[in-house]
A and B are shown apart, each in its own frame.
Chain A
Amino acid sequence: MTPSNPNLETTIDDFAPLAAEQRRQQLSRPSLSYWQDAWIRLRANRRAILSLYIVIALLLFTLLGPLLWRVDPSAQDLDQVSRPPGAERMITLAAPYRSWNGEAVLPTATGLRLAYPASTQSVRLIWDPAPGAAAYRVYRNIVPTLPGESLGLPIAQTLTGTETRYEDRLDLRAETYFYTVVALDETGAELTARQALSVDPVAVITVAEARSRGLQSASGPLKIGDKVRFKLHPLGTDYLGRDMLARLMHGARVSLFIGIVAPLLFVGFGVAYGSMAGFLGGRVDQIMMRFADFVIALPFLLFMILFKIAFGIGPGQSGILPMIVALVMLSWPGTARLVRGQILQVREEGYVNAARLLGARTNYLVMRHMIPNTMGVILVTLTFAVPSAIFTEAFLSFIGMGVAPPTPSWGGMSNEGIKSMLIHPHELLFPAVLISITVLAFNLLGDGLRDALDAKMRSRE
């Protein structure tokens, strides 16, 4: 007996076919390509986006900057050496320098006195002869001289005791100087007789110098006694009076050029090499990777020098090409290793085997399955290679192996700036900060890209 179930009574209607129904898979959200997805994730990363803006700003600074700020980066102005940003720019026009024969235009007085009004062109001092003096030593100080303390800088010494004048032209600035003249005896020992004077030179420049710098006066043609304004240097000037802003803009060109071209080349080569080794596998892989290990062991600096010689780069010429060649020839194994590892992994995936069974060719396999699946790794190495290449360039220029003067570069500017770090910090600060910001921005951008492009490698936010 079978138990009966009244609800399962079947009728003939149950066997009638249903109406055809269109029920396909439906997308619940808009379709996103790999890149769109990556972009959304990147946008969500505030640090990466900020870095991206910084990188764009740097590119604009380098490429558009020199078009807007048309100052020759190698033009020197010895009247404005090592000026910090926002230094006093007013200057008085004066007659050209003429040598001095000891005459005085200022009323005579006693003691140490000025023969002419003091200017940054020259300070002309006359003093009274001291009894028993065989020579005089002139000191200059920038702080008031205290009794028993140092008299300052021994700026000159006369050859005889009859010479009672001295003209100071050494690096005069518009600040107060305290001069002291000390008489010396026959043996060169200092006598007690000393005369002192404080002097405030006026900042001056000759009319011809003003004209050659293209300075203009508010009241028509330039004439002696006029006050004019020096050209603006927003970031100050360096040790030869060159405009820092223009030098930074031009210096970035070299840095960014090498920082972008070299990584593109060596990452490209590394990808080709690594994917070939990984795809072919076996003995070929072994040989290729041992060769890569060998290249890693080669010293970069030595090769850089060798290439410089091999390329016939003479002294005083910029070694940009050998630098790129050395970077490309010695930096690719890192990328090659990473890509090979990825390819080895992807090669054994089910979908690759399926594609192969379906008759896919090698080309198709590599281009369609292997490379796209390693794209994350490739892009990440690329973004990390950029800052390291920029840093290498800066380092090489810092040790004097990179670009030759007068071409500015951030590394070279830092090298010169470090010498006067304590008194003119702006000369070191600006290039060093720019190097740091650039390297940091590229690194953070690379970090963000890694998170965005490669879900597997994503770090936790």
Chain B
Amino acid sequence: MNGPPGVQDGFARSAGRQLLLIAVVSVVGIALLMFGLSWLSGGARISKGIDAATGTVTLALADEPPQLDSTRSTDTISGMVLGHVTEGLIRNGDGGKLLPGVAERWEITETGATFWLRPDARWSDGKPVTAHDFVFAWRKTVDPKTASEYATIFFAIRNAEAINKGQMPLTSLGVQALGDHVLRVELIRPIPYFDKLMVFKSFNPIREDFFNATNGRYGADADTLLYNGPFKITRWVHGAHLRMEKNETYWDKARVKVNVLDFPYFSSDPNALINLYKDGKIAVAGLNQENLNEALVKRWQINRFQRGSVAYMEFNHRKGRPTANLHLRKAIQLVVDPDEVVYRVIKLPGNLPGRSLFPVWLDGVEGKFREEYPAKKIVPDPIEARRQLALAKKELGLNKIPPLTMLSDDGALGDKLTEYFQETLRRELGLEIRIDKQIFKQRLAKMTAGDFDVVLAGWNPDYPDPLTFADLFASWNSNNRGRYNNPKLDQLVAVAQNSTDVQTRMDAFGEIQRILIEDPPMVPTYEPGVVFVVDPRLKGVVRRVAGSDPDYTNVSIVEK
């Protein structure tokens, strides 16, 4: 110690005062700098959710579309963007009705279909959309070199399956252009929902000369994509910003009432999105269970939408997996309570307890399918479940079921659901569950590789017909990732695929539903729904079960 204490105290005090001064000055300085920079940049980057003066609607995307090539697109985000910037032969109208798109009129028979294209349909570079563009795109999708996941959706068209397997040349595909404006399709089996199928993105046109000019970069950037839909992409900064403007060459541009759809935010974080909505920076935001009450207290206009998909627990049937055992699957089925999942764990309206692979909205013979063919409700029964578990152990020759891997993805529900199932299966059956949480893509890859015992999966319908769900567990379906193999079910799927008689088809679906409940290759958990808030000035946001969702093509801005 040097110097008397008094001197040191004085020194410390003045040093402290100086430090405090520096701290305050730097904090104030940084704050001023930030405000200054924001002011210098004109505050232009701070968007408004609704700008009536320029006709701009600002929204958020959950993520950036991986790419926008309709022959290879499989995800819902690129599907949504494609639904705004391109148009197929037929488009979705209100209330499940179909409206003419590029095709003015069409005729569908059991052996084929003919589409008469409107002469005023134009690409964004001014050239007309012709039947050749459809022929090119469809051939491209079934081309084995494209390796499109949706090639199977074309298999009802003549020679599509053989072409996809590399056994026939591309030109043999049963689709041809009779002149520029007539498209003729040959079918090998009748498809009762063929018109609904035409709305699907894989059937959209692509112009050959433009596609070839992009050197394999088609759909990778704003300028390597040609637009024939209500909007066109004018700006696409990868990972940051996507901007759509009204397409002036669109044949029905009168129905487009806003000039710009701006997506400056790519985020799937519900809290971030709801904060943006609160600040008036975006016009639509999803709500989660955590901010539901706040939305109610603030008296926001809340909308509810049933996605039309189903979420379920799928088992792995590969050799050596304990879940290949029927009794173990039954034991798990008997302790999973979809009521509790929805009412006590998910707690969001719009979600429905899962009872069947077929969601409630599907049409049956006359009314709704699920009313005509009610699914047997599984009442949770822990005592019976434990009996089934004992049988499973006996059959497997095990004293204890080895730890089961539960594969899931980082969806909006977070770990809530997986942890709930983990604890329920531990408490009721003494099963040890290891949670394998992956991102969505990786979850699919692991499912395909069979690297799981149980997976929390789901299915979005591709077209509004029960078949989109029914063939999921057919042995030949590449989406049957648990390798479930039941010849009886395969036969029923074939019946439904090859018939046009509604009663026969629905009976087959009813039987498939029964098999799926009695021999559970999967246990339905819930039918997902969403709750979202929409800026009261924005009208005409449409949510769709199949096809591009959400649909902003008809939105308009109404000043209060």
Chain A residues with CB under 8 Å of chain B are 74-76, 78, 81, 140-143, 146, 149-150, 152-157, 159, 169-171, 187-188, 239-240, 314-317, 400, 404-406, 416, 419-420, 422-424, 460
Contact = CB atoms under 8 A, between A and B. Distances in A.
Interface in B331-368: 339-340, 342-345, 347, 349, 368
Contacts of A316: 403, 405-406, 433-436
B405 A416 contact: no
A78 B345 contact: yes
26 contacts: A76-B423, A78-B340, A81-B344, A142-B293, A142-B296, A143-B299, A149-B299, A150-B299, A153-B292, A153-B302, A154-B349, A155-B349, A169-B339, A169-B343, A170-B343, A240-B420, A240-B423, A314-B434, A315-B407, A315-B435, A316-B434, A400-B437, A405-B418, A419-B414, A422-B291, A423-B290
Contacts of A153: 292, 296, 302, 304, 349, 531
A171 B343 contact: yes
Interface string B32-62: 0000000000000000000000000000000
A317 B423 contact: no
- Across chains A and B, which 5 residue pairs bring their CB atoms closest together, nearest first? A316-B434, A315-B436, A171-B347, A78-B344, A154-B304
Judged by DSSP, the binding face of B is: helix
Interface in B271-306: 271, 288-294, 296-297, 299-304
Contacts of A146: 299
Nearest to B452: A315
Q: Name, among B296, B339, B418, B420, the residue most crowded by chain A CB atoms within 10 Å (CB to CB).
A: B296
B6 interface: no
A155 B403 CA distance: 39
B148 interface: no
A400 B435 CA distance: 11
Contacts of B299: 143, 146, 149-150
Interface residues of B, number: 51
Interface string B414-428: 111011101110110
Contacts of A424: 290
Contacts of A419: 271, 288, 290, 414
Interface centre among A153, A157, A317 (most CB of B within 10 A): A153
Q: Is the interface of A mostly helix, strand, loop or mixed?
A: loop
A170 B347 contact: yes
A422 B297 CA distance: 13
B95 interface: yes
Nearest to B371: A159
Given A78-B344, A316-B434, 18 more contacts: A75-B423, A140-B349, A152-B296, A152-B302, A153-B296, A156-B349, A169-B339, A170-B343, A170-B347, A171-B347, A240-B420, A314-B436, A315-B405, A315-B437, A315-B438, A317-B434, A422-B294, A423-B290
B501 interface: no
B349 A150 contact: no
Nearest to B435: A316
A423 B344 contact: no
Given A170-B342, A406-B419, A150 B301 contact: yes
B499 interface: no
A74 B292 contact: no
Interface centre among B288, B304, B344, B420 (most CB of A within 10 A): B344
Contacts of A422: 290-291, 294
A76 B12 CA distance: 54
B94 interface: yes
Nearest to A160: B367
Interface in B501-548: 531
B8 interface: yes
A232 B551 CA distance: 49
Interface core residue of A171, A188, A317, A423 (most chain B CB under 10 Å): A171
Contacts of B293: 142, 423
A404 B422 CA distance: 12
A153 B345 CA distance: 18
A170 B345 CA distance: 10
A418 B105 CA distance: 54
Nearest to B433: A316
A315 B290 contact: no
B347 A150 contact: no
Contacts of A149: 299
A451 to B, nearest CB: 13
Contact of B95 (A75, A188, A240): A188
A157 B361 CA distance: 12
A311 B271 CA distance: 36
A314 B405 contact: yes
Nearest to A400: B437
Given A150-B301, A316-B405, A239 B436 contact: no
Nearest to A146: B299
B400 to A, nearest CB: 17
B416 to A, nearest CB: 6
A416 B426 CA distance: 21
A420 B342 contact: no
A143 B302 CA distance: 14
Nearest to A74: B423
Given A149-B299, A422-B291, A423-B294, A416 B339 contact: no
A265 B436 CA distance: 30
Candidate in B290, B293, B406 with the most chain A CB atoms within 10 angstroms: B290
Interface in B111-140: none
A171 B344 contact: yes
Contacts of B340: 78
B414 to A, nearest CB: 6
A159 B349 CA distance: 16
B419 A240 contact: yes
A240 B418 CA distance: 11
B540 to A, nearest CB: 13
A150 B297 CA distance: 10
A149 B12 CA distance: 61
Contacts of B435: 315-316, 404-405
B305 to A, nearest CB: 9
B411 to A, nearest CB: 13
Nearest to B305: A154
A406 to B, nearest CB: 6
Contacts of A171: 289, 343-344, 347
A426 to B, nearest CB: 14
A406 B423 contact: yes
